[in-house]
Homo-oligomer: A and B are copies of this chain.
Amino acid sequence: MAENDSDYNPSRACPLSEVSSWDLETDVIVVGYGASGASAALEAAVEGAEVTLFEVASGSGGTSAMAGGDIYLGGNGGTPAQRENGFEDDTEDFYRYMLMAGGADADEARVRLYADHALEHYVWLKEQGIPYRNSYLPGKVQAPGTGDCLIWSGNEDAWPYNETAKPCPRGHLPEAIGELGGGGRMLVDKLAARVEALGVDIHCDARVLCLVADEAQQVQGVVVRLEGQPRFARARRGVILCAGGFALNEEMVKKYAPVISRLGDDGLSAGHDDGSGIRMGQSVGGAAIHMDEIFTTLPIYPPASHVKGILINEQGQRFVNEDAYPGRVAIHCLRQVGDHIYMLVDDSIFEQPSEFSRIEIAAVGESWSEIESELGLLEGTLTSTISLFNRHAAEGKDPLFHKNPNYIKPLIDPPFAALACHIGQAFYPYFTLGGLSTRPTGEVLTVDAEVVPGLYAAGRTCSGLPRSGEGYSSGMSLGDCTFFGRYAGRAAARRDPASTAR
């Protein structure tokens, strides 16, 4: 039996020599029971491995269960929902879009695999019992909660993405009704039912304290707190870290993604995104990459009509095409100098902002110069921005930021309003995108791309498909969690420790 809890720390692996005897032995240990962990455990069990899963919370779900359940799918001529609604999504368009969304260091191998096999993944999800309608909701919607399936969930139709790949809606929501749809909860529940049916040994209220590694930093198991006691659990084939991101770890946020400190306490997390998975990976030489990248969003819609408004910074300047995915818009908001961001709308498009968004009316007036002065902006800033915008909007054009004509109209119908969209006022929820460097198989890599034997990671514990806040599209994270969770499960189950030893 292991010593005191406090002897263990995720950032320091326990030396194998300190393990006098194993309290528990299995083939594959999965850490975390969200969408990634469930997918990994499921697939490892299907491969015939003996699988043990440890989850720190009292049940399955993790942060995945808080999501709408949107999964980013397409290519291969289209999923049933795409085809039935007239979208023959070409694999290469899907590939190019995701590659661009991944940013400067998009993982080409991962994107290729995902693009080629997303339709198979859709079929697999259905086989696991996740219900999808073939219905389509056009326009700008988020988490509609109607049980409908296909939505535009990213920047597909927005500049500059629409110049790179033929636009196509690719967000796939499960058939779940209610606030946020409950789709994430349903997704994990269905996967968890399969995990349990396959006989995976599941321990909840079980915190993994650290890895156990031999002198060559080959991972041999974990130290886990079970019923209040630290126990040594051996993984003959591999340990898969599916323990989420680090949005709740203040120290990590400061050192890796300090921009989050501006966003307040709105981290999207079920309460355990403390970076422990990433920290354990680092303890055996795993590299944590793109740690500065975050997803955040500014929910300017609903109401969808507000997409026709324009966003300005404190200098009264526009800075982004407002019809981009709100995650992209939010990243651009973070880059502005000054403390204020406003959305300008006229009477013809104004609706009360959603309570959820915390966006409030900052000024109302009969003329734009009235609004400019009410906001305390420098005379001639907002007004010249509006006049330039309106001049081209009258022709359905936005030569400066290339907004899609569908969302362009001159803002000329008084009364006018400015909506306060800045940080500290509006809701900017966030989660982290940085994590361990891995192969598509989930194998954790050192900074020199050497495999750390016996260690795998999936979901937000790794830097996966979604690795750029600017390119994030809804459904990319859960798509990555489930798809590459499965790969990690298979790879760990198949590992022959003798062959990969250092």
Residues of chain A touching chain B, judged by Cβ–Cβ distance below 8 Å, are: 9-13, 15-17, 103-105, 214-217, 251-252, 254-256, 258-259, 261-262, 275, 278-279, 282-285, 287-292, 315, 317-320, 332, 335, 337, 378, 380-381, 384, 388, 391, 399-401, 437, 446-450, 502
In the bound assembly, the distance between CA atoms of A313 and B214 in angstroms comes to 54
Query: Closest approach, in angstroms, between the C-beta of A166 and any C-beta of chain B?
Result: 23
Residues of B close to A292: CB separation below 8 A: 291-292
Known pairs A105-B255, A380-B388; A216 contacts B15 (CB<8 A): yes
- Min CB–CB distance A335 → chain B (angstroms): 5
Residue in B103, B380, B381, B401 whose CB lies within 8 Å of A258: B103
Q: Chain B residues near A317 (CB, 8 Å)?
A: 315, 317
Contact B11 A285 (CB under 8 A): yes
Contact between B381 and A400, CB atoms less than 8 A apart: yes
Given A447-B252, A447-B279, A450-B9, are A399 and B384 also a contact pair (CB < 8 Å)? no
**Residues in B whose Cβ lies below 8 Å from that of A287:** 11, 255, 282, 288
Q: Closest CB-CB distance, A381 to chain B, in whole Å?
A: 7
| Chain B residues with CB below 8 A from A285, complex form | 11-13, 282-285
Q: Provide the residues of chain B in CB contact with A315, threshold 8 Å.
A: 317-318, 400-401
Q: Which of B255, B384, B446 contacts A283 (CB 8 A)?
A: B446
Q: Which residues of B contact A447 (CB under 8 A)?
A: 10-11, 252, 255, 275, 278-279, 282, 288
- Would you give the shortest CB distance from A220 to chain B, in whole angstroms? 12
10 additional A-B pairs beyond A16-B215, A104-B259, A275-B447, beta carbons within 8 Å, are A12-B217, A12-B448, A215-B215, A251-B449, A255-B290, A279-B447, A315-B318, A315-B400, A378-B400, A381-B388
| Contacts A9-B448, A11-B285, A258-B104 given; does A214 touch B217 at CB 8 Å | no
**19 A-B contact pairs sorted by A residue (CB < 8 Å):** A11-B287, A13-B285, A17-B215, A104-B261, A215-B215, A255-B290, A255-B447, A256-B289, A256-B290, A282-B447, A284-B285, A285-B285, A291-B292, A315-B318, A315-B400, A319-B337, A320-B337, A378-B388, A380-B384
What's the minimum C-beta distance from A291 to chain B, rounded to whole angstroms?
Answer: 7
Cβ of A320: which chain B residues have Cβ within 8 Å of it? Answer: 337
Per the bound structure, the CA–CA distance linking A103 and B437 in Å amounts to 26
Q: Bound state CA distance, A400 and B378, in angstroms?
A: 7
Bound-state CA distance A176–B399 (Å) is: 52
The interface residues of chain B lying within 8 Å CB-to-CB of A275 are: 447
A319: nearest chain-B partner, CB-CB: B337
CB <8 Å contact, A384 and B378:
no
Q: Which residues in B have their C-beta under 8 angstroms from that of A319? A: 337
Bound state CA distance, A256 and B318, in angstroms? 30
Q: Report A169 CB to chain B, min CB distance, Å.
A: 25
Chain B residues with CB under 8 Å of A279's CB are: 446-448
Among residues of B, the one whose C-beta sits closest to the C-beta of A104 is B258
Contacts A251-B449, A255-B105 hold; do A337 and B289 have CB atoms under 8 A apart? Answer: no
